[in-house]
Amino acid sequence: MIKKIKITILVFLIFFGFGMIEVYADNIDPTRVSFLTLRYQYDDILIRDTGISIYYVATIDEEAKFTPVSSFRDLNVPLEGDSASSWQEVSNEVYDYVESNHLEPLKRALTDQEGKVVFTDLQPGLYLVVTDAKELGDLIYSSSPSLVSIPLLDDMNEEYLYDVDANVKTEVTEVPPEITPPNTMDYYFADAMLFLVFLLVSIILISYILKLQKKERRKENEKK
């Protein structure tokens, strides 16, 4: 009889969204070739031609224990949580670690015309999924960094799924209004025009004063 173990499996981006479930299942096969399909969409809007990267964060053993891989050996973040929000905090900290250490993704691909990307030949373990934002019209579609566990458990059949199909949790925001910076040439042109006006007024005033002086001298000469 196959040994049964009680485990806690991460369920990210699958039907129930973020969360955790406790179940009984057979041992995990850490050597099983796995696949990850990610679908990037918001309602009926498919996010096409957009980059999605995955980072291999930790291996997983037969009893669902995670062990950080070498590139994450200095990650001082427990790979565990007791709620969706706490796991999101872990995801954000793992992402910060990736950014600060300039780590390259294990794999990266663009979504197809169905807003889907498939990563093949993966090892079981914990993966960080990072999606690029996409601007469509006056809206921006994006997703927070998320952790995905492979395999996932089909609790109805009590078997592990090594071919994981997940929906990216997508958010939408409005494109901020564009602020047009002032044209430097406009300032130069305005300054030049002011200078020309000042110069013209100065010339007129000087000419007028010279004429007055000339007229005064003429009167003085006539008196003599």
What pTM was estimated for this model as a whole? Answer: 0.69
User: Quick one: 114 and 49 in the same domain?
Assistant: yes
pLDDT at 8: 34
User: Quick one: 195 and 129 in the same domain?
Assistant: no
User: Quick one: 97 and 134 in the same domain?
Assistant: yes
pLDDT at 1: 36
User: Quick one: 216 and 121 in the same domain?
Assistant: no
Stretch 34-38: mean pLDDT, rounded? 97
User: Quick one: 159 and 190 in the same domain?
Assistant: no
User: Quick one: 46 and 64 in the same domain?
Assistant: yes
- Confidence band (pLDDT; 50, 70, 90) for 223? low
User: Quick one: 157 and 199 in the same domain?
Assistant: no
pLDDT at 20: 38
Residue 95's CATH number: 2.60.40.10
d(C-alpha 212, C-alpha 208), whole Å: 6
User: Quick one: 47 and 9 in the same domain?
Assistant: yes
Task: Report the alpha-carbon angle 41-15-17, nearest 5.
Answer: 80
User: Quick one: 10 and 113 in the same domain?
Assistant: yes
* 174, 189, 209 - which closes a domain: 174
* Spatial contact of 147 and 81, defined as CB atoms under 8 Å apart: no
Question: pLDDT digits over 143-184, tens only?
Answer: 999 999 999 888 787 889 999 999 999 999 998 877 766 666
User: Quick one: 164 and 94 in the same domain?
Assistant: yes
Question: In terms of DSSP bridges, do strands 34-39 and 163-167 run parallel, antiparallel, or are they unpaired?
Answer: parallel
* 159, 174, 189 - which closes a domain: 174
pLDDT at 34: 97
Alpha-carbon separation of residue 56 from 22, 66, 75, 124, 130 (angstroms): 24, 11, 13, 9, 12
User: Quick one: 32 and 94 in the same domain?
Assistant: yes
Question: pLDDT digits over 47-88, tens only?
Answer: 999 999 999 999 999 988 999 999 999 999 888 866 778 889
User: Quick one: 80 and 156 in the same domain?
Assistant: yes
Question: How many structural domains compose the chain?
Answer: 2
Domain assignment of residue 148, given as a range: 5-174
Query: Percent of the chain beyond pLDDT 70?
Result: 77
